[in-house]
Amino acid sequence: MAVGHERFLLMCTSPEITPRIFITLANICVLVSENSMRSSAAAWQLIPVWMHCISIVASVLGVIPSEEECVEKLIELLFRCDSSLDSLFAVTVQLFHRTWREMHASQDEHEKVANVVHEQLRRAANHRPTNLNMLEDLLAALPYWKMKELWKRELIEKENNQLGSEVVGELRNLLKPSIEQLVRTNRKNALKQGFTFRRQVKGKTPHKGEDQYCFWKLDASDVLCFTDTDVDPYVEGVSHVGNVRKVAVKDIASVERVEDIIGRKSGAQSMKCIRIALHDGSSICGATFSDRVLSAWLDGLTDLTGNTALSHDAMATADRLLNIELRLRLVDVPNPQSSVEVPPLPDDFSWVKPFLRHDLAA
């Protein structure tokens, strides 16, 4: 919706137009012209924008009652500026235009953009700007992407404060054992799925032509099966099968992570190694590039041997799951509603107009 040039010139030459209002109208005319270049679906409408901006300014200045009035924080700016209301309205329209562009808004999102603009003005007013230029600089430092970062950080801080409260702490201690047990069960299930490790014999990697890999798997009777193979990944019933060794869980003395193996090539990724020590003095070693897989097998085998301690990775997983569970439970907690006490009816209704007495007596 563009303003005609002839009509605009007539408005500007009117004796009622002050220099400040002239600048305001000129800026708004530029914004309207720029907005008219957009497609109809991506352009804002002039009348709705002005209505929203007037409502925002009235709310910020306390003309319309709102929860957070900023008139006290803008009092110095209002007294120093000649046409404070006109100037603040012009700044709000320019901010609306900029935020609309940054949000890639469509024609039915005027209210959504207005809410963001109101929040930007409120945050800028919290710095108590003393003049219009300072207010514009503060608003320039609050683009839409910055607002999203602020909202995200504030949400995280709010959630952390809730999770750190005494009541939630008691709930955390109550849920923690079950969550840790869930992690242990998940780690043991990983053992039952099996994994193909690189074989390690006396600290050396087998040469080509030999079975360089070993498929580890825990069967239903809690017996570990080690199947030598020459392929990675190993597919049961399809891949080559070499020597097969079975070890009962009761024969395991300890499970530990040993020194990583660094490749000969420069910059090669190191392999993580796990060693299963048996009561007869022998050991079985395997290597993998995956920290996640190694951690799962260490925790699963350690739990099978009767040690309930969790690794650092397992504890981090348990804490993450516990925080998710707590957040889900906090969502279902209703916010307490403040109840308003209704005063009792008066004993005497003589002050009521005569035509209402009959209705009250009934």
CATH of the domain at 272: 2.30.29.30
Same domain? 177 vs 101: no
pLDDT at 358 over 60: no
Confidence of residue 273 (pLDDT cuts 50, 70, 90): confident
Confidence class for position 281, pLDDT limits 50, 70, 90 = confident
Asked whether residue 178 falls in the same domain as residue 305, the answer is yes
Mean pLDDT of 48-73: 79
Confidence of residue 188 (pLDDT cuts 50, 70, 90): confident
What pLDDT sits at residue 266? 45
pLDDT for 79: 79
What are the helix (H) ranges across the chain? Answer: 5-12, 19-36, 46-60, 75-80, 84-103, 110-125, 132-140, 144-163, 166-193, 291-304, 312-331, 354-361
pLDDT-derived band at 5 (thresholds 50, 70, 90) equals: very low
Interval 103-127 mean pLDDT: 89
- Tokens of residue 15, six digits: 């004796």
Please indicate whether residue 22 or residue 314 has the higher confidence score (pLDDT): 314
pLDDT at 203 exceeding the cut of 70: no
**Cβ-contact 186, 178 below 8 angstroms:** no
Tokens of 144: 């839409």
pLDDT at 340: 65
Residues 138 and 207 placed together within one structural domain of the fold: no
Type of residue at 169: G
pLDDT > 90? residue 145: yes
pLDDT of residue 115: 92
Sort strands 252-261 and 244-248 into parallel, antiparallel or unpaired.
Answer: unpaired
Question: How many domains does one find in the chain?
Answer: 2
- pLDDT at 144 > cutoff 70: yes
Answer yes or no: is pLDDT of 325 > 80.
yes
pLDDT band at 21 (very low <50, low <70, confident <90, very high): very low
pLDDT of residue 42: 78
- In a shared domain, residues 208 and 313: yes
- The answer to whether residues 294 and 256 touch, using CB atoms and an 8 Å cutoff, is no
CB 319 within 8 A of CB 210: no
Average pLDDT on 5-25 reads 48
User: Residue 194 domain-assigned?
Assistant: yes
User: Does residue 147 lie in a domain region?
Assistant: no
Output the pTM of the full model: 0.53
CB 55 within 8 A of CB 118: no
Average pLDDT, the chain: 78
Which residues span the domain enclosing 178?
Answer: 173-323
Same domain? 248 vs 310:
yes
Per-residue model confidence (pLDDT) at position 334: 62
